[in-house]
Each structure stands twice: as C-alpha cells, then as structure tokens.
Structure 1
Amino acid sequence: MRSPYPAIVSRRRQLMLKRAIDLLLIFIALPILVPLMLLISILIRLDSPGTVFFIQKRAGLHCIPFNCFKFRTMYANADQTIHQKHIEAYAAGRLNESNGVKLTNDVRITRVGKLLRRSSLDELPQIINVIKGEMSLVGPRPLPMYEVEQFDLWHNERFLMPPGITGLWQVKGRSYVSFDDQLRMDIRYIRKWSIWLDIQLIFETIPAMLSAKGAG
C-alpha cells in the first residue's frame, strides 16, 4: 500500500541514509580524530584556565534546541552577549558584509583559540552531536538561539535538515556574506540535497580549512 504522504516518507528515508553515512565516515576517521582531539584538549588546558569544551544551546532539526559542543576558544568567563549584539546589527544590515557573523579582533579569544578558529578545528567536538543524532557532518550551520530570533518567516525552511559541521555556507561563503545570503545558501543546500552533494562538500571543506578564508 502506497503512503498517502510520499514526500514525508522520502524525506525520512533521506535522513536515515544521511545518518548512516555520517556514522560510517566518523567510524573510519576515529583513529585520526581521537588523537587530534586529545592533543587539542591538552593545548587548550595549557594555554588558559577553564574547561576544554564550550557548550551552547543551538537550533537543530525543526528548530529543536540542543547542546552544541565546541572546543573552548575564549578566556573563561568571557562576555557572551558581545556576539549577540553583533548578530543583531548583522541581521539588521548595519554591518559591512566583510564583518559577517564573526567578530574581528576579538580580545576574548585565546592564543590557541585563534589557531583553532582559523582552521575551524574548534568545530571538531561536534562529532559528539553527530553521534547523538543532533547534527550531521554536512548541513546548515548550527545557529545560536539568539540568532534564530532575528529570522523572518521564510528563513525557517533551513530547519528541514539537521545542522552540519560543514556545509554550503561554510565552504562557499564563510564569514563574507550577508545574513540573508547565508540563509539562502542553507536553503539552497536543502533543496538541492543529495548524497553526492554531501560528499562534494566534505572534500571541499579540507582546502577551505587550510586556506582559513573567512574563518576566525
């Protein structure tokens, strides 16, 4: 018997396949990821006092909040409202596109934190979120909840896929696009999604990380 909701069934199958590939790739990469994450953890602890991980509420699939893991790149007790005010100005179009979602010359960032941000290695702990089923390897950027508060109605289409460690915006745009253009790229990824697009973006992530273009 055919389902009366073929589009919903198709999307569920797509998400199941996407998750299976995520877990397979993580399993293959674990021998490299575990020692690398251990080394980064040691460097963070040597560089400044505080925890190894930074945990923040982010918007997941269907805008359901989850605890997103990153390596800590800021000094302990740094003011987290500074970026929130920056995003409000960014979404309102009061900033030059070259500023983007990132703060330039942010004094809250540690020495090791600067290296991690330039290489995007601060995102590595998000593989924990992928294993838990809260994220995917590829997808829209996991946004802080205060960033979602700036959304217009049409922006919500980006929540039809789980957020990703890398994605179309992370590879093609990074910090150099407007607030709306960033969201258009997320929506374009969802509409054009395929396994082959995910594989392409994973391969393109490596040179994007090495170039550090738009990171920070």
Structure 2
Amino acid sequence: MPIRVMLVDDQVLLRTGFKMVLAAQPDMEVVAEAGDGAEALEVLRAHTVDVVLMDVRMPRLDGVEATRRICREGQGGPGNPKVLILTTFDLDEYAFTGLKAGAAGFLLKDVPPDELLSGIRSVYSGDAVVAPSTTRRLLNRFASMLPVTRATDHPELEQLTDREHEVLTLIAQGLSNGEIARKLFVSEATVKTHVGRILAKLHLRDRVQAVVLAYETGLVQAGG
C-alpha cells in the first residue's frame, strides 16, 4: 500500500508542485489537500492519511494549532497521521512550536525533491527526525522560545544509564544514528536499541521530543 499523503498549504501552486513530485513515486499517493488548518481537520475526518505536510502560516487556523489537535487531541481522524511542518526557516520561528505541538519533524519549503521524498518515507517508517542537524540549527536559532526548566523537574532522566545519557546528548547535538555509532564505536543497531530505551524511559513519542527535552533541561545548550 502506498504512503497516503495530505498536503496542507494556502498556496495552491506549492501544493501542485509537491503533488507532481509525489505522484511520480510508486510508493506514494496524495489522497487529500487543504488550504488551511481548519479545512485540514475537516478533511482528515473523512480520509485515512499516513503523513501530513503542514504549512505553518495559514488563515483561519495555523499549522501549529492544527498539528496540536491532530497529534494530541485525536482530531486527525483514524490513525493520527504523522505531521511534517513546512517552513521557510528564515522567517518561520513558529516551526519550533510546531515541533512542541507534536510534529514529527520539518522540511524546508524549497527542499530538493529527493530530500522531500526521503523525509516522508523516513517519518512514515517511524524515524521522526528528518534532518537532525537542521533540527539542531532551528532550536539554536529560537532557543529563547524554550521554557526554562531544570533537570530536577524531570526525575525520569535519572532512569537513564550513563550510556543512554550519552546517546541522548548526541541526539540533541544533531547526530544521526550512524554518526553516533561511529563516535561511540558501537553498531548502529546498538544505537537504535539505546534510542528506543531512552524514548520508553522518558515517555517520549520520538527523537524530536528527545531533542526538545534535552534543550529544555539544559542538557544541551543553544549553540553548543
């Protein structure tokens, strides 16, 4: 079964361009479109969608609030699809709040076609972070938006082993599983096991939430 994708953007030409790219892929299908967040919620109730490409700045209901309702309030219809935020990066400081709202990651609007396709496939397969280094740059840029918390406010961090703590730090620094494996001289499969245990112990949905938590608690500093 192909990956069922929904496009949500108030720019018709942008949706058309993305749709052309996706339609050429045998493993993808655009099953729905919407021009703003409110329409997206309505359309999602009538369609089964795997991945939503969600713009941030839209009329009526913006992409952040739409993402929050899809991911946290179960208003996205059956299956609760993964959401990828679309951002221009230079302007969209709201991309970070999109991640906080539950988005699986984000893509730049001018992303090359191969990266767009790779990002959709990665998120569909469960790898929430589309581009770890880009996520780090975004968080560094908008670190002032982070709520100030302390590690002591998150006692679950104490459940991590020394190695898991090390892996969490490297995830937050923007390293991929492969890069972490090479840095720690272990196999990539071992890193994946550590990541799974970290998410389970911290009650996190995905790697993006792990990155956010690491920044919030000061485990990783902006620009560090």
TM-score (norm 2): 0.25
| Greater helix share, structure number | 1
Q: Which has the higher contact order (CA 8 A, sep 6+)?
A: 1
